[in-house]
Amino acid sequence: MINFLIVLVIILAVVALAHIVRISELSSEISGRDDSKITEADNKLNGFFMLVFMVLGLGLMVYMTLRYSRYLLPVSASEHGVGLDKLMNVNLIIIGIVFFITEILLFWFAYKYSHKKDSKALYYPENNKLEFIWTVVPAIVLSGIIIYGLQQWNAVINAPSEGVTTIEVYGRQFNWQVRYPGPDGKLGEANYNLISGTNTTGIVTPASVKAKIEEIETQIAETKIELDNTYNDEVVQLNDLSKRLKTLQSHLGRLYAIKDRLQYDKFENNGEDDIVTNELRLPVNENVMMKFRSQDVIHSAYLPHFRVQMNCVPGMVTQFGFKPTITSERMREIMNKKEFDYVLLCNKICGTAHFNMKMDVYIEEAPAYKKWLSEQKAVFAIEEAPAAPAAAPTDSISAPAQISMN
């Protein structure tokens, strides 16, 4: 229905327009009026419209600002965010003042100095004093903005990284995972070569390397068989298979390099007890250092309520440290919305389902958080005997070098 209406409105608008044009043309032909010559009436009318546009426009902007302010983000739920919001408000006030002054002058001049037959424009090509003033004043104001802004920026980028909980947010098409350190309090090394069905963030442990090598070797063998069974005239398939084989073989090479490194270099096996979840929970009022990685393309971890955002770039680790200050529960009260939850969104175009790539975020009191974390199983926990939880990994942590020598 609405479709039909829209099409109808557009058609009618076009028809109406064509008629208006035709009528004005005919009437100008009859009266011998010139459609291109600008008359005093045009100047008066358009000058007046400039004034009307200014008054209505600015009025509507103020109205919209009041009306739409309820859609803006609520008070910042992180410590640094409060400072950023203050910086934002100061900036908004400054640019608001400049906006009103300059736009009012612009449209007011347009109205006031619209062409009049008897008046003549003032020949006024320069005034060095004036130009000096309006170069220096913006320069001073901007210096203030720069200094204030950089102060806040420094506060953000120098967030404490020692002695705080470090967690990892891992992006991939099209969902997020969070990796928490286990009881050892340290995140283990991770590597994209080790990603598998069970080890979705690619944690490096001697066992995971071994398992992955086996998996890839099996895949290579399978691909070879498939390749042998493919007829020579199935060019596309042959091409695909040999490409796949090449990719797998290079993957295997990299895995052996990792294995060698574990054997001969210093390697801290911290990943054995790491926990991976599909939701982000953090304790309130505790500093956290978030590390970001990506599995495939660039993603951006955006936590609007905390004024936190950082890109996740394949091939590098980025980070952002902050301190959440408002629990989810408290925020629901502040916003007066029972069903409110914090969210982590992807904010860098990453593929077709980009708009659906998000994760729920919960901020809790420390005890509740600890309880929740203790209930989460470590990634490699499933393989252990139920009778002696965490026994095997503990051993391997204490003697990583020995195990890898085998």
Partner 1 sequence: MHNAEHDAHADHNDHHDHHEQSFISKYIFSTDHKMISKQFLVTAIFMALLAMGMSVLFRLQLGWPDVKFPIMETLLGKWGKDGVLDPSFYLALVTIHGTIMVFFVLTGGLSGTFSNLLIPLQVGARDMASGFLNMLSFWFFAASTTVMLASLFVEAGPASGGWTIYPPLSALPQAIPGSGLGMTLWLVSMVLFIASSLLGGINYIATVINLRTKGMSMTRLPLTIWAFFVTAILGVLSFPVLFAAALLLLFDRSFGTSFYLSDIFINGLAIEHTGGSPILFQHLFWFLGHPEVYIVILPALGLTSEVISTMSRKPIFGYKAMIGSILVIGFLSFIVWGHHMFITGMNPFLGSVFVFTTLLIAIPSAVKVFNWLATLWKGNIVFSPAVMFAIGVVSFFISGGLTGIILADSALDINLHDTYFVVAHFHIVMGSSAIFGMFAGVYHWFPKMFGHMMNKTLGYWHFWLTIISVYGVFFPMHFIGLGGVPRRYYANTAYAGFEEMVNINALISVFAILGGVASLIFIYNFFYSMYRGKVATQNPWKSNTIEWTTPVEHIHGNWPGEIPTVYRWPYDYSKPGAPDDFIPQTVPYTDTPESNTEEDKHHQ
What part of residues 248-267 is at the interface with partner 1 (CB under 8 A)?
Answer: 248, 250-251, 254
Binding mask 161-200 for partner 1 (x = CB under 8 A): -----------xx-----------------xxx-x-----
321 alpha-carbon distance from chain centroid: 16
Task: Select the span of 14-22, 163-171, 220-228, 395-403 touching partner 1 (CB under 8 A).
Answer: 14-22
145 belongs to the binding site for partner 1 (CB under 8 A): yes
- As a whole number of angstroms, the distance between CA 359 and CA 170 comes to 11
| Shortest Å, Cβ 294 to partner 1 | 8
296 is an interface residue for partner 1 by CB under 8 A: yes
Pick 306 or 369: Cβ nearer partner 1: 306
Scan residues 323-382 and list those touching partner 1 (CB under 8 A): 339-340, 343, 345-358
CA-based nearest residue to 137, from 108, 102, 88? 102
Q: CA triplet 94, 98, 100: central angle to 5 degrees?
A: 115
User: Which of the 8 DSSP states describes residue 160?
Assistant: -
Residue 100 or 264: which CB sits closer to partner 1? 100
178 Cβ contact partners less than 8 Å away, ≥ 6 residues apart: 167, 168, 169, 170, 276, 277, 278, 279, 280, 359
For residue 37, CA distances in Å to 33, 105, 112, 136 come to 9, 27, 21, 42
63 lines the binding site for partner 1 (CB under 8 A): no
Beta carbon of residue 394, minimum distance to partner 1 (angstroms, whole number): 29
Alpha-carbon gap, residue 37 to 300, rounded angstroms: 55
Does 300 bind partner 1 (CB under 8 A)? Our answer is yes
Binding of residue 220 to partner 1 (CB under 8 A): no
Which of 62, 73, 221, 235 is close enough to bind partner 1 by CB under 8 A? 73
Q: In angstroms, rounded to a whole number, what is the distance separating the alpha carbons of residues 187 and 240?
A: 37
Using rule CB under 8 A, residue 211 touches partner 1: no
Task: State yes or no: residue 247 binds partner 1 (CB under 8 A).
Answer: yes
Which region, judged by CB under 8 A, interacts with partner 1, from 9-17, 162-170, 270-278, 324-332?
9-17
Nearer to partner 1, 263 or 318 (CB): 318
Q: Does 210 bind partner 1 (CB under 8 A)?
A: no
Dihedral sign for Cα atoms in the order 244, 250, 254, 259: positive
* Sole residue written with tokens 């901020």: 363
Cα 199 from chain centroid (whole Å): 25
Question: What size, in residues, is the chain?
Answer: 406
Nearer to partner 1, 235 or 316 (CB): 316
